[in-house]
Amino acid sequence: MSTESKKVWVVGHKNPDTDSICAAISYAYLKNQSGDKKTYVAKRAGAVNEETRYVLERFGVEEPPLVTYAGAQIKDINIRKTAGVSNQISLKRAWELMKKLEVVTLPVTNQFGKLEGVIVTKDIATSYMDVLDNCVLSKARTQYKTIAETIDGEVYAGNEHAHFVRGKVVIATSNPEYMADYIEDDDLVILGDREEAQMQAIRSNASCIIIGGGLEVAEEVKKLAEKRDCVIITTPFDTFSVARLINQSMPIKQYMTRRELVTFDIDDYVDDVKDVMSRVRHRDFPVLGSNGNYVGMISRRNLMNMQKKQIILVDHNEKSQAVDGIGEAEILEIIDHHRLGSLETVSPVYFRNQPLGCTSTIIYQMYQEQRVEIPKEIAGLLLSAIISDTLMFRSPTCTPLDKSVAKRLAEIADVDIEDHAKKMFRAGSDFKNKTTEEIFYQDFKIFHTEDCDFGVAQISAMSGEELEQIGEQLRPFLPQVLGEKRLNMVYVMLTDILEESSKIIFAGEDAGKILAHAFKKQEDADGILLDGIISRKKQMIPTLMNEMSERV
């Protein structure tokens, strides 16, 4: 199993609020104390809002890394770690490696680990068929040492590190007195044990002679070769065998594929990889790491043993609110305090759902149950989440347990609840440097009924005047949300924390009529003020859904 596949993501919902982020961090910390040999990593499925950013900075905790898709990636697969080879190895050596490793593709890399190309069995087959060109060995700039190794020979005289760079391959079978007619300067000559023929080949300025039969070379031949700077290679093979094998000594760079290579990155998603593989009929594909270096090979067979991403969901159990690609992941646990949603799992999971004001209250309970000490910064995060989700205990979702847990966490974190809450809410209602889109999506969720898809955003602030300005800014943006998200209706709760009320603005056919009828108010296109309504989860969503179901 790869290192990545031993990691478990702990992640909240899209457009995360403070509870979603703090719960992920706190639960990941708790799970890492279990000693189950897995690493639990907090993630976020969207941008951190200003309130949450203040909380993280206040307690010195880093933002979790962003994830946008939960599908499996190549790094989740045990890819084949076939080592890269130099472009200078011979075709014969490449073939031997392929047989030993039981592969049909070898990656070719340089000294820095960069991919230069690939050599496949088809390329080697091509080299065998390309025998009509008797200059191909010199065109490939083949090293004499490699030629000797290919034919099980030995460099008897001359520089074995030099390269055959000019001339053709000649087999000397005729009478020595005629050899001068067809041996040209720099040719490589394959011949037998006749000393006279060997001397004549050297006199004809051959760059190399290969002597078959494994016989010793006469001293006179060696001296002449050294004088003429001619390489002598001896081999136990006969002339025919040498002629058949010699092309295998060419470096693979002569035949390897360099251009239009199909490669994948280690972070590529498996679904995308499958799509490419279905269109490109290769057996194996190189994989590149984050630095662009070659790291291994992947084939269709590797995808069959794919390890799905393992994920724990906190603060949600709706598929529409989960990170994209959640259907391709393996959900291990769900820790939540919302109504049961549309999420389905393939196998049973640990699912803890309690009717409390905040997911972080549940996580505090789990720390107590497992007798894990809560660090000061974790206590600060859990406390902040409870304050945020319950609007400092004003929300009807808040329970006595939420309040008592918050007081205990405040003692551990050494903070004053009221002072900390005011600073949090003030940071969260600072909209000066935010775009309309950022303000709207900082806390937005989509819900489904049998015949309707609708979204509800919530923006909270300490000032009604500030909320009125935000409302004017958001109204023209709502029709765009309807189109982009393919919704029937969209609502925005402009929640005044101090007044404990929410003004609702909306868009979509019948959105105002449904809202007014649900809360027994007069319909108003500019928005409807709902006193005492500050909880989206407990007050807004159930009431709207009941009204929609009755209208079906």
173-224: per-residue pLDDT in tens? 767 777 877 888 999 999 988 888 899 899 999 999 999 887 788 999 999 9
Looking at every residue in the chain, the average pLDDT score rounds to 90
- To which residue do tokens 């599908």 refer? 71
What average pLDDT does the segment 531-536 reach?
A: 92
Most confident of 53-67, 70-84, 344-358: 53-67
- To which residue do tokens 């900082």 refer? 442
Residue 451: pLDDT over 90 = no
Task: Give the model's confidence band at 79: pLDDT under 50 very low, under 70 low, under 90 confident, else very high.
Answer: confident
Pick 79 or 4 by higher pLDDT.
Answer: 79
Pick 195 or 507 by higher pLDDT.
Answer: 507
Proportion of the chain above pLDDT 70, given as a percent: 98
Position 274 scores a pLDDT of 87
Question: Lowest-confidence range among 15-24, 358-367, 379-388, 450-459?
Answer: 450-459
Q: Which residues pair with 120 in a beta bridge?
A: 105
Residue 100: pLDDT over 70 = yes
Proportion of the chain above pLDDT 90, given as a percent: 63
Position 130 scores a pLDDT of 59
Position 378 scores a pLDDT of 98
Task: Give the model's confidence band at 132: pLDDT under 50 very low, under 70 low, under 90 confident, else very high.
Answer: low
Picking from 474, 444, 442, 439, the residue whose alpha carbon sits closest to that of residue 457 is 444
Q: 237-283: per-residue pLDDT in tens?
A: 988 899 888 888 889 988 898 888 899 999 998 888 888 988 887 88
Residue 478: pLDDT over 90 = yes
Query: 76-128+254-304, what's its fold?
Result: CBS-domain (3.10.580)
Position 344 scores a pLDDT of 85
Structural domain boundaries in the chain: 4-72+308-427, 76-128+254-304, 141-249, 436-551
Position 489 scores a pLDDT of 95
Task: Give the model's confidence band at 131: pLDDT under 50 very low, under 70 low, under 90 confident, else very high.
Answer: low
Residue 502: pLDDT over 90 = yes
Q: Tell me the C-alpha to C-alpha distance, in Å, between residue 187 and each of 171, 183, 222, 252.
A: 10, 7, 18, 22
Q: Tell me the C-alpha to C-alpha distance, in Å, between residue 526 and each of 307, 331, 505, 517, 523.
A: 52, 43, 7, 16, 9
Contacts of 380 (CB under 8 A, 6+ apart): 55, 58, 59, 409, 413, 415
Give yes or no for a contact between 225 and 157, defined as CB atoms under 8 angstroms apart: yes
What average pLDDT does the segment 157-170 reach?
A: 91
Residue 1: pLDDT over 60 = no
Structure tokens, 494: 């402009």
Please give the Cα distance from 378 to 42 (Å, whole number).
13
Task: Give the model's confidence band at 300: pLDDT under 50 very low, under 70 low, under 90 confident, else very high.
Answer: confident
As assigned by CATH, the class of the 141-249 domain is alpha beta
Picking from 465, 492, 431, 335, the residue whose alpha carbon sits closest to that of residue 49 is 431
Position 133 scores a pLDDT of 74
Position 465 scores a pLDDT of 84
Q: 272-299: per-residue pLDDT in tens?
A: 888 898 888 788 899 999 888 999 999 8
Give yes or no for a contact between 15 and 442, defined as CB atoms under 8 angstroms apart: yes
Task: Give the model's confidence band at 552: pLDDT under 50 very low, under 70 low, under 90 confident, else very high.
Answer: low
Position 436 scores a pLDDT of 94
Assign residue 393 a region (left: φ > 0; alpha: ψ between -120 and 50; beta: otherwise).
left
Q: Tell me the C-alpha to C-alpha distance, in Å, between residue 118 and each of 85, 87, 88, 147.
A: 9, 9, 13, 22
Give yes or no for a contact between 11 and 312, defined as CB atoms under 8 angstroms apart: yes
Q: Tell me the C-alpha to C-alpha distance, in Å, between residue 286 and each of 5, 85, 106.
A: 20, 13, 9
Q: Do domains 4-72+308-427 and 436-551 have the same CATH topology?
A: no
Task: Give the model's confidence band at 424: pLDDT under 50 very low, under 70 low, under 90 confident, else very high.
Answer: very high
Give the architecture-level CATH label for domain 436-551.
Roll (3.10)
Give yes or no for a contact between 109 and 319, defined as CB atoms under 8 angstroms apart: no
Residue 456: pLDDT over 90 = yes
Give the architecture-level CATH label for domain 4-72+308-427.
Alpha-Beta Complex (3.90)
pTM exceeds 0.75: no
What average pLDDT does the segment 139-161 reach?
A: 91
Residue 140: pLDDT over 90 = no
Residue 470: pLDDT over 60 = yes
Position 174 scores a pLDDT of 64
What average pLDDT does the segment 51-65 reach?
A: 96
Cβ atoms within 10 Å, residue 197: 21
Residue 4: pLDDT over 80 = no
